[in-house]
Amino acid sequence: MKAPPLTALLASLTAIASSQAAAQGDETAAPPPPAEYNAKLLLTNGISAVDGASGGGIANWATIAGRQSDRGFGLQAHATFIALPDFAYQSQGVAIGIADRMELSYARQNFDTLDVGAALGIGQGYTLNQDVYGAKLRLAGDLVYGAPHMPQIAVGVQHKRNLDGAITAAVGAAHDTGTDFTFSATKLVLSRSLLLDATMRLTKANQNGLLGFGSVAGGGYSLQFEGAAAYQFSRRLVTGVEFRSKPDNLGLGEDDWFDLFAAYAVTRNLTLTAAYADLGSIATFEDQRGAFLQAQVAF
């Protein structure tokens, strides 16, 4: 009997190898496209806080901005509006995540005094403005993976530059610039669809810095707490609550902040957030409660 032609033998061997690889799951198959292979789970980059860092709307978390994980650069940008009875609060910003290890952020805050401006003697609709430059470094742990009781831990710094120095001096603030330091621990327990966060912030900011920093009467740095608890109803929908304690350096009765929020991932890159926000007393005007709305894009 003649040996089969070489081409026929190679074809036969190729077919056998292909069938065996298919049966075993073909471990040598080409990996998914880089963007999908390296993407975080939906919503695990958080939304954007009013100061520009990733996390919740009013509290910083240990999350790192952007959808790319440890093999790339992530990017997210936000626009936030808070409608209050006597004020309007806006924040726009951008944050970059580097290898899911470091975050760099920037936000511009605009605080419109509406009719209150005239009552305070600074002018109808006077708007307070502030720039916030931030950096965050993940030290240990992972938000989703790893030991279930080991959270993702990060430290952060935020340098704030108030652009209305004359106003901050008039209300008794010692400085128009200041720097906050944060230490955060955040964990998503997938088996229970539960996210928990605790953050300690060393700060001397008055109303997040919009009324300056410290006090000429002696108010300086103090340690404040921020926290969040959220439940993930599905891959796309999460609801939760946040709390942020704040100092009262100026003696104006500055209150802690609180919110109830819902965030929905419309697509992989677009997240919409709505919340009921209670910001308490601002510049002696009580009961500043209203709607928090945010649109965020992330890549």
10 in a structural domain? no
Using DSSP, state whether 37 is helix, strand or coil: helix
> What is the number of domains present in the chain?
1
What backbone phi and psi angles, to 5 degrees, belong to 192? Answer: -115, 5
The C-alpha atoms of residue 152 and residue 185 are separated, in whole angstroms, by: 6
Q: What is the DSSP string of 189-212?
A: EGGGTEEEEEEEEEE-BSGGGTT-
> In this structure, is residue 239 part of a structural domain?
yes
In 3-state terms, what secondary structure has residue 6? helix
Residue 8 lies in a domain: no
pLDDT tens for the chain, 299 residues: list them. 444 444 454 355 345 444 444 444 433 334 444 444 568 999 999 999 999 999 999 999 999 999 998 888 999 999 999 999 999 999 999 999 999 999 999 999 999 999 888 877 788 889 999 999 999 999 999 999 988 889 999 999 999 999 999 999 999 999 999 999 999 999 999 999 999 999 999 999 999 999 999 999 887 899 999 999 999 999 999 999 999 999 999 999 999 999 999 999 999 999 999 999 999 999 889 999 999 999 999 99
Strand-pair partners of 261: 240, 275
Give, as one character, the DSSP assignment of residue 30: P
The reply to whether 262 falls in a domain is yes
Dist CA 208 CA 58 (whole Å): 10
86 in Cβ contact with 37 (< 8 Å): no
Please state, in angstroms and rounded to a whole number, the distance separating the CA atoms of residues 206 and 173.
8
> Does residue 5 belong to any structural domain of this protein?
no
The helix/strand count (H/E) of the chain reads as 4, 14
| pTM score of the predicted model | 0.84
pLDDT of residue 71: 81
- Contact assessment for residue 183 and residue 223, using Cβ atoms and an 8 Å cutoff: no
Q: How far apart are CA 145 and CA 100, in angstroms?
A: 13
Domain of 71 in residue numbering reads as 31-298
CATH number at 217 reads 2.40.160.40
Give a yes or no: residue 276 inside a domain. Answer: yes
**Residue 130, pLDDT score:** 97
Within-domain flag for 225: yes
Task: Specify if 157 maps to a domain.
Answer: yes
